[in-house]
Amino acid sequence: ETGVTQSPTHLIKTRGQQVTLRCSSQSGHNTVSWYQQALGQGPQFIFQYYREEENGRGNFPPRFSGLQFPNYSSELNVNALELDDSALYLCASSSNPGTLNTEAFFGQGTRLTVV
Amino acid sequence: GDSVTQMEGPVTLSEEAFLTINCTYTATGYPSLFWYVQYPGEGLQLLLKATKADDKGSNKGFEATYRKETTSFHLEKGSVQVSDSAVYFCALFTSGTYKYIFGTGTRLKVLA
């Protein structure tokens, strides 16, 4: 067990709605990264938070936003949901954002379905 | 940009067969290389990693060697079990980029 927990596990939303996904990082980890995994694809990097600041961002539109809290837990917010946002959203925590040898511990993911 | 290419699946093997899943990469820097495994309905679990050329990562009978000359990190296992059935992702991480680059995954199905 990695200690990274995500909630909820499954979610169904309607196109145009907004959604918030949550992630509790592993104890001692100050870096949280979010990934989107579409069906049959590998995870794609959305963004990373380090000590409550966004520390890097992938090719996702601004309607994907995030927060990191003082306890290093994190939220992913998606506004104006589109059908293509249906995916497994993975959270990963790590002890350092850029160290080459760092391994990220992934949560179980949140399965978002947009209808 | 950096990228990872994996062999397409699904790969179907009989129990105790030899497994190879090919992975090649393109990177401007000197990445660390990883294999992650995803069991049905679960997140990603780190299987093994290698941080520099000629390093061999190993875990649970799986092995992969970081080959800089061929930019490859092929996953191998000498004798697969039904419990190895899962999707396997090859990934790279380059210092300073803040992110992992994943391949598209290879589904392995092992038959009893």
Are the C-beta atoms of residues B76 and B28 closer than 8 Å to each other? no
Strand duo B19-21 + B75-77: pairing: antiparallel
**pLDDT tens track for B16-73:** 999 999 999 999 888 999 999 999 888 899 999 999 999 999 999 999 999 999 999 9
Which residues in chain A have Cβ-Cβ distances shorter than 8 Å to B89?
Answer: 42-43
Residue B49 C-alpha, separation from nearest chain A C-alpha, in angstroms: 9
The pLDDT value recorded for residue B9 is 86
The separation between CA B102 and the C-alpha centre of its own chain, rounded to angstroms, equals 10
The rounded distance, in Å, linking the Cα atoms of B107 and A4 is: 25
The rounded distance, in Å, linking the Cα atoms of A25 and A107 is: 9
Do A103 and B34 make contact, defined as CB atoms within 8 angstroms? yes
**pLDDT tens track for A73-111:** 999 999 999 999 999 999 999 887 775 467 788 999 999
Identify from B5, B47, B100 which residue to disrupt to test chain A contact, counting A C-beta atoms within 10 A and taking the largest count.
B100
pLDDT higher than threshold 70 for residue A46: yes
The rounded distance, in Å, linking the Cα atoms of B7 and B11 is: 9
Do B4 and A42 make contact, defined as CB atoms within 8 angstroms? yes
The rounded distance, in Å, linking the Cα atoms of B92 and A93 is: 16
Are the C-beta atoms of residues B35 and B89 closer than 8 Å to each other? yes
Q: Is A5 on the interface with B (CB under 8 A)?
A: no
- Mean pLDDT, rounded, of chain A: 92
- The DSSP symbol for B52 reads S
